[in-house]
Amino acid sequence: MDAKSNIKSRLPSRHVTEGPARAPHRSYLYAMGLTTEQIHQPFVGVASCWNEAAPCNISLMRQAQAAKKGVASAGGTPREFCTITVTDGIAMGHEGMRSSLPSRETIADSVELTVRGHAYDALIGLAGCDKSLPGMMMAMLRLNVPSIFIYGGSI
């Protein structure tokens, strides 16, 4: 067993990439354009709260692309996904403010569900507003996988 496969044998992503029983799982990965080499590398989730709702989120997609390049250059396979976010600057002064605080839990829940559901081995989280920052960090603490938080900027 080479060093790479020995490392993979202990990672969560082995549950979707290794062995004959996981051929259907791998077929999904191949259908998305991944190579055999990428499938057998550690999977790193790159989660962002990107949206077009506020200035504090607008640059997160570009930053996530840079994070993905870094993951790939370090020998990992980046798997990008987004989550919701509610911005107080837009939600203030009307019914929308009732959505602000609960959005932290929804962000944490959605990141946790994606990382666990797809058996990612690590996480890079990008957020930029006052509810998405704690939401992303809450997910990282719940998951207890190697994680990096990137503050994407604010208004």
Q: Would you list the domain boundaries of the chain? A: 41-151
Task: Tell the CATH superfamily of the 41-151 domain.
Answer: Response regulator (3.40.50.2300)
Cα separation, 153 vs 136, whole angstroms: 14
Containing 122, the helix (H) or strand (E) segment is strand 122-127
Alpha-carbon distance of 101 to 9, in angstroms, equals 39
- Rounded alpha-carbon distances, angstroms, from residue 70 to 65, 67, 75, 143: 9, 5, 9, 22
Q: Which residue has the tokens 């570009």?
A: 62
Q: Is pLDDT of 1 > 80?
A: no
- pTM reported for the whole predicted model: 0.92
Each residue's pLDDT tens digit, 66-118: 999 999 999 999 999 999 999 888 898 999 899 989 999 999 999 999 999 99
Give the 3-state secondary structure of residue 42: coil
**Which are the contacts of 85, defined by CB distance < 8 A and separation ≥ 6?**
49, 51, 53, 57, 103, 107, 127, 129, 131, 132, 135
pLDDT of residue 103: 94
Kindly report, residue by residue over 12-66, the tens digit of the pLDDT. Answer: 999 999 999 999 999 999 999 999 999 999 999 999 999 998 899 999 999 999 9
> d(Cα 134, Cα 83) in Å, to the nearest integer?
13
Q: CA 8 to CA 41: how far, in whole Å?
A: 7
